[in-house]
């Protein structure tokens, strides 16, 4: 999630459910039923009020498997919203199988660092070990922010795939991206070029998630929610 938005601060079957030790242990349903009901009530209106953003073309180097796992990250983002959180999800895949996943939990934990990517890394690195991250691919529903890129660099990951471009969902929110935005590709390219970054992928789907959330969130909380 973009750092400047910090103050603002659904499941596809992949065989059997993940073991309990590999699921996000953070409280995911702390939002009140009233808040979730209100979000559902305003969903259609929010879509109408959202700023239309033309999705970027898929990164042609992404594989069919990448599409499957990005779809999973989008499902986690939707689930996060349904539970009163923010629209971001992340998945770690090793040898073609999901071994860890995490939904943004900044709202439920009141911890502004619990973004999907950083939350996944900090939660599962002690359980899975550095080798799993080195062999794996991290799938993020939206382009990781600078904070999460730092975690990616330190976790030993060598491949990252993201769904929705950061500047694209900034436009949905109504922000105006900088003329030369700092992207994950630039940060990785200047710090560890051995890491491969792919994306965007299925951005139309990702933008739809943001378009259904941010107009309602801004109207409900404003830009200064803490």
CA atoms within 13 A on the CB side of 148: 32
Q: Tell which residue, 116, 186, 189, has the closest CA to residue 148.
A: 116
**Within a 10 A sphere around the Cβ of 182, how many other Cβ atoms?**
13
What is the per-residue pLDDT for 193? 97
Q: Is-catalytic flag, 117?
A: yes
Q: Average pLDDT of each block of 10 consecutive residues along the chain (226 residues)?
A: 35 29 40 43 44 92 98 98 95 98 96 98 98 98 98 98 97 88 97 98 98 90 58
Q: What proportions of the chain, in percent to the nearest 5, are helix, strand and coil? A: 50, 10, 40
Q: What is the pLDDT of residue 32?
A: 37
How many Å apart are CA 127 and CA 154, to the nearest integer?
16
Selecting among 38, 83, 101, 117, the annotated active-site residue is 117
Which pLDDT belongs to residue 224? 52
- Give the residue from 186, 198, 218 showing the smallest Cα distance to 51: 218
pTM: 0.80
Instruction: Give me the pLDDT at residue 223, please.
Output: 62
């Amino acid at each position: 999630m973009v750092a400047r938005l910090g103050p603002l601060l659904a499941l596809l079957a992949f065989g059997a459910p993940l073991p309990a030790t590999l699921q996000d242990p953070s409280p995911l349903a702390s939002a009140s039923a009233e808040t979730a009901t209100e979000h559902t009530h305003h969903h259609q209106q929010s879509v109408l009020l959202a700023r239309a953003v033309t999705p970027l073309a898929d990164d042609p180097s992404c594989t069919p498997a990448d599409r499957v796992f990005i779809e999973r990250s989008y499902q986690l983002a939707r689930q996060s919203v349904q539970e009163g959180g923010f629209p971001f999800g992340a998945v770690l895949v090793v040898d073609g199988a999901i071994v860890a996943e995490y939904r943004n939990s900044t709202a439920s934990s009141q911890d502004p660092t619990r973004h999907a990517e950083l939350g996944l890394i900090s939660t599962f690195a002690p359980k899975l070990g550095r080798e799993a991250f080195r062999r794996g691919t991290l799938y993020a529903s939206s382009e990781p922010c600078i904070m999460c890129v730092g975690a990616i660099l330190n976790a030993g990951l060598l491949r990252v795939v993201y769904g929705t471009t950061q500047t694209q969902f900034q436009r949905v929110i109504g922000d105006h991206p900088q003329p030369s935005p700092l992207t994950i590709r630039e940060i990785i390219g200047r710090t560890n070029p051995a890491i491969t970054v792919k994306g965007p992928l299925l951005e139309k789907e990702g933008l739809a998630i943001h378009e259904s959330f941010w107009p309602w969130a801004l109207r409900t909380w404003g830009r200064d929610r803490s």
